[in-house]
Amino acid sequence: MELRHLEVFLAIVETGTFTAAGQRLHLVQSAVSATLHALETELGARLFVRTARRAILTDAGVALVPEARAALAAAAAARTAVAEVREGVRGPLAVGTMTTTHLVDLPRLLGRFQETHPHVTISLRTLAHGSRDLEAGVLSGELDVAFVSVPGPTPPGLRLRPLARFPMRLLLPLGHPAAVADAVALADLAAERWIDSPPGFGNRTVVDSAFAEDSLTRTVAIEVADVPTLPAYVAAGLGVAVVPGYVPIDPEVVHVRQVRGHDLTWPMSLATATRRPERAVVSAFAAVVAEEVGARIGTA
């Protein structure tokens, strides 16, 4: 199996047709077909079903996609690693960020990093399903490094450099009957309309885990990706929420309480992959993050 086989395979996946894949790779359609045939012969499985309009992945093709991406990412990392030894810290750096970035002064951080390493090209990416997608991006090699919130054990294949931990607070609309107590049990709120981030976000995972630990279920009526805006939805009477301590809260418009029986905390880390050697540019970036972010927010 050669890398060009995987490049052609992924080009078909991403463009949807053999013709479009050939145009992307500057190959005639017959060359695309022949390369795919060679790959299918070597693997002993058909990877696509061709219709009049599209090439549709088979189950075998679906299974190959993440492995093909990882293989190409590893090859690219190997080329870059050799170049770094020869020429110093340089090359591309793909950084994944959460939708909430005000905890990290990215312009300042990247400006400082670029001053020291002017030959690095940085791309910033925010993914739809929060930390869950960011983790997958790091594991696949799509991302070199990512800011994530991963409650609980570290997923296999990831290295997490802790940056901060914030206690989480319960927000109730003004006049809510449960607000008479300083701490409220989840059982007393299970029937409420909840406002939370979409699945995959770290703060959503923390609260979902607490409900599961108490053998309770809840209804998330509104999903909001922009975490700092959650208090405004609570203030409007749309439901209750639990937010990380970094979120600004006006106690004049919502009640702020504790969740009884749980020590809910929201962690923030920098994620890199352990399954491939860490490039010099990734190590250099992690060092700058530790200095800049660690000094700014510590272990609040």
Domain limits, the chain: 3-64, 68-163+267-297, 165-266
pLDDT at 85 over 60: no
Average pLDDT for the chain: 89
Residue 299 confidence (pLDDT) above 50: no
CATH T-level assignment (fold) for domain 165-266: D-Maltodextrin-Binding Protein; domain 2 (3.40.190)
pLDDT, tens only, 251-266: 999 999 999 999 999 9
- At 186 the pLDDT is 97
pTM to 2 decimals? 0.69
pLDDT at position 100: 66
Confirm or reject CATH 1.20.1630.10 for domain 3-64, answering yes or no: no
Is residue 84's pLDDT more than 70?
no
Domains 68-163+267-297 and 165-266 share a fold: yes
The residue ranking higher by pLDDT, 79 or 38, is 38
Q: For the structural domain made of 68-163+267-297, what CATH number should be given?
A: 3.40.190.10
SS3 labels along the chain: CCHHHHHHHHHHHHHCCHHHHHHHHCCCHHHHHHHHHHHHHHHCCCCEEECCCCEEECHHHHHHHHHHHHHHHHHHHHHHHHHHHHHCCCEEEEEEECCCCCCCCHHHHHHHHHHHCCCEEEEEEECCCHHHHHHHHHHHCCCCEEEECCCCCCCCCEEEEEEEEEEEEEEEECCCHHHHCCEECHHHCCCCEEEECCCCCHHHHHHHHHHHHCCCCCEEEEECCCHHHHHHHHHCCCCEEEEECCCCCCCCCEEEEEECCCCCEEEEEEEEECCCCCCHHHHHHHHHHHHHHHHHHCCC
- pLDDT, tens digit (0-9, with 9 covering 90-100), for 213-225: 999 999 999 999 9
Q: What is the pLDDT of residue 297?
A: 58
User: What digits encode the pLDDT tens for the residues 103-157?
Assistant: 778 888 899 898 888 889 999 988 878 899 999 999 988 899 999 999 989 999 9
> 197 and 129 in contact (C-beta within 8 Å)?
no
